[in-house]
């Protein structure tokens, strides 16, 4: 039986190029629809290509919902939006059984599917719902199915949750539990648009509404892209780098840098290592490469790890953020694993 981690040959350029073009076009269209955040768009695209769920965090009005809506238009996927409120119940998301008159059969309990049965679910202000309602999404996000009254129903494929949360107005909110956070591939911080982007928005958009996209990706094209992405090769040294990186997030690890030892209470789970590997594959596809490089890992590691590191109270006192810890991790971890002596270093590369 062939080892799936060791393909006999890499993807041929002819196989890779259509998928890479599609992914690139998706990103290009996103940049056309929404101004000023190419890096955010790139990471959201990577998240979608990795079939992961994305948590968007930002103050109101920065375009979180607009981004998700634009994505749903571009992907031509079934899209549902749920506004999370404190009185929202699990049944409001998952669906419930109702008593229905069936002609000729009397009355019977019929399952009425909730909004979770969709391709792209926008969970707006997810932290406003109670933990009970938030936890209703756990099975859906991880297993991609819903179990009600002993019956498990699969969700449509693909299934993405794009959630937003507001970091201010925390009164009356319920912070997402770690188990829920861990199920999000990325947590992306949506920064306010800069002056140039704002200028372009108010100059070219009436009431700030983005124009209808001129191109969209079909479900088949998306599935084909996923298929190609699965064949992106992850070399052993890169896999080793990801493993060392995630292991070093634990304060007890020998390789962990001082910042981790001081400020991290709990490090990232193995799910984080899987998420980095998947996201790095998507990043390689977006770059049109059949293999994952160290740069791909470095690009996706911060959004994957930042919400998975649980910092201690000292970090809050010293105003140390998870992003700072991840940056230190990436700086201090030797990607190639050369373990050169301290007085010997690689200086520069002369390119031909």
Partner 1 sequence: MSHDEQLVGRFSGHLARWFVLRQSVAAVTAWAFLWGTAVLVLKVTYGTSVPTLLWGVVGLPVALGLAAWLALRGLPNRSAVRALLDSTGERGGLLMAGAECDLGEWEAEPTTAELPKLQWRGKRPLGFLALAGAYVALAFLLPARGLAVNGTPLDIDRPADRLAEQVRVLKDEKILDPERAENLKQKLDEVRAQGGGKDPAKTHEALDHLKDVVKQAARQAAEEKARQANQLGKVDAAAEALQKAAPMLSPQEAAELLKELAALAEKAAAESEALQGEFSAELAAALKEGKLSPEQLKQLAAAAKSGKDSLAKSAKNLHNAKLIDADQLKACEGGKCDADGLAKYLAKNAGKKGLKDGLREVQEGNGGVNDDGPGDTPLNFGDRSTADGTKFKEEALPPSELAALKESQLTGVGKAAPKRDPDAAPPQAGGLTGAAAGGGSANAAPVLPQHRGAVGRYFDRPEK
Binding site for partner 1 (CB under 8 A): 6-10, 12-13, 233-238, 241, 284, 287, 289-296, 335-341, 343-352
| CB closer to partner 1, 20 vs 93 | 20
| Cβ 26 to partner 1 shortest distance, Å | 20
Q: How many CB atoms lie within 10 A of CB 155?
A: 19
HSE-CB for 66 with a 13 A CA cutoff = 22
Choose between 7 and 131: whose C-beta lies nearer to partner 1. 7
Is 256 in contact with 305 (CB distance < 8 Å)?
no
| CA neighbours closer than 13 Å in the CB half-sphere of residue 88 | 28
In 10 A of CB 188, how many CB atoms? 25
Of residues 87 and 348, the one with the C-beta less far from partner 1: 348
**Nearest approach, Cβ of residue 81 and partner 1 (Å):** 37
Please say which residue, 36 or 290, places its beta carbon nearer to partner 1.
Answer: 290
182 closest CA partner among 47, 308, 51: 308
Burial class (CB within 10 angstroms; exposed 0-12, middle 13-18, buried 19+) of 6: exposed
Closest approach of Cβ 129 to partner 1, in Å? 41
Residue 351 φ then ψ, to 5°? -85, 145
177: closest CA among 124, 211, 117, 135?
A: 135
Q: What are phi and psi of 106, to 5 degrees?
A: 75, -150
Nearer to partner 1, 27 or 140 (CB): 27
**At its nearest, how many Å lie between partner 1 and the CB of residue 42?**
16
Nearer to partner 1, 246 or 292 (CB): 292
Tell me the CA distances in angstroms from 305 to 182, 185, 206, 271, 309, one per residue in order: 9, 9, 38, 10, 6
To partner 1, the closest distance from the beta carbon of 294 in angstroms equals 5
| Residue 155: HSE in the Cβ half-sphere, 13 Å Cα cutoff | 28
> How buried is 262 (Cβ within 10 angstroms: 0-12 exposed, 13-18 middle, 19+ buried)?
middle
Residue closer to partner 1, measured from CB, 195 or 346: 346
Q: How far is the CB of 255 from partner 1 (least distance, A)?
A: 15
Nearer to partner 1, 111 or 233 (CB): 233
Cβ(52)–Cβ(186) below 8 Å: yes
CB of 289 to partner 1, least distance (A): 4
Q: How far is the CB of 346 from partner 1 (least distance, A)?
A: 5
- Give the nearer residue to partner 1 in terms of CB position, either 269 or 291: 291
Least distance to partner 1, CB of residue 8, Å: 6
Report how far residue 85's alpha carbon sits from residue 126's, in angstroms, rounded to the nearest whole number: 8
Instruction: Report helix, strand or coil for 255.
Output: coil
**139 — phi, psi (to 5°)?**
-65, -40
């Amino acid at each position: 039986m062939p080892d799936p981690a060791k393909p006999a040959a890499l993807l041929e350029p002819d196989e890779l190029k259509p998928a890479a073009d599609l992914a690139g076009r998706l990103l290009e269209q996103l940049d056309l629809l929404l101004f000023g955040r190419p890096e955010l768009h790139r990471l959201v695209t990577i998240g979608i290509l990795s079939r992961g769920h994305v948590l968007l965090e930002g103050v109101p009005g920065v375009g979180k919902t607009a981004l998700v809506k634009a994505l749903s238009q571009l992907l031509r996927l079934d899209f549902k939006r749920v506004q999370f409120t404190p009185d929202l119940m699990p049944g409001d998301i998952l669906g419930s059984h109702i008593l229905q008159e069936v002609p000729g059969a009397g009355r019977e309990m019929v399952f009425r599917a909730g909004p979770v049965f969709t391709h792209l679910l926008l969970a707006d202000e997810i932290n406003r719902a109670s933990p009970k309602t938030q936890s209703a999404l756990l099975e859906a996000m991880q297993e991609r199915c819903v179990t009600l009254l002993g019956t498990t129903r699969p969700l449509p494929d693909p299934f993405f949750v794009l959630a937003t949360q507001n970091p201010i107005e925390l009164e009356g909110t319920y912070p997402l539990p770690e188990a829920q956070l861990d199920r999000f591939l990325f947590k992306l911080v949506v920064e306010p648009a800069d002056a140039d982007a704002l200028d372009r928005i108010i100059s070219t958009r009436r009431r700030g509404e983005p124009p209808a996209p001129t191109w969209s990706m079909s479900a088949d094209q998306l599935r084909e892209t996923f298929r190609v992405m699965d064949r992106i090769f992850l070399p052993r040294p890169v896999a080793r780098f990801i493993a060392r990186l995630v292991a070093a997030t634990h304060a007890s690890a020998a390789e962990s840098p001082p910042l981790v030892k001081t400020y991290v209470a709990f490090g990232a789970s193995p799910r984080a290592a899987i998420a980095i590997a998947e996201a790095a594959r998507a990043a390689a596809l977006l770059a049109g490469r059949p293999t994952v490089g160290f740069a791909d890992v470095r690009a996706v590691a911060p959004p994957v790890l930042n919400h998975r590191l649980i910092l201690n109270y000292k970090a809050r006192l010293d105003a140390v953020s998870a992003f700072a810890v991840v940056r230190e991790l990436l700086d201090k971890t030797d990607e190639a694993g050369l373990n050169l002596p301290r007085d010997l270093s690689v200086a520069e590369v002369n390119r031909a």
